[in-house]
Structure 1
């Protein structure tokens, strides 16, 4: 991921959202091309996005849900149980946050 966003820049209030979008782009690219490196970049980028999103921010459930989905994709591709465990641990957090789009929280609870 760092080959795409590098340098020492001051924090930007929308960086977590931009990283979330970039992570979703990597997921889409992985789904189209099947390149494992795209999935690894998605996970790395989405981890950074979740880390940068403050608790209580309405974007937090979306980032957690997207990161969980990327772990599910890696589990389906590699079959490593730890990826499934990571996804399962993220979805309840995304579903139980009291702020953010209800559709995202519902999707996380369904996952």
Structure 2
């Protein structure tokens, strides 16, 4: 079992999310598509929440951001009930093997936090 936590200020990502290389490395194509449908403030909140969740998941798996799992292979989507659902792909799925990944994402003002449990 692993637990990961990540906290960041949205503004930390404001410049990075304008760079195509960063978007392609960190986000699944579906997440990029979803973000493009949002207004500027909501887009930044959405991408920051996804980034924090991916960092938390990597920590729960015992990995760092550049340690063999591309964050784009951690796809986070919204379930019908509004909760975040995680789909692991490629090397992320291999690292988790048969474990279940659960996450929670929260936003308050400029702060975004995410916690992940891998069991």
TM-score (norm 1): 0.30
Higher strand share: 2
Higher helix share: 1
Greater RCO between the two (CA within 8 Å, min separation 6)?
2
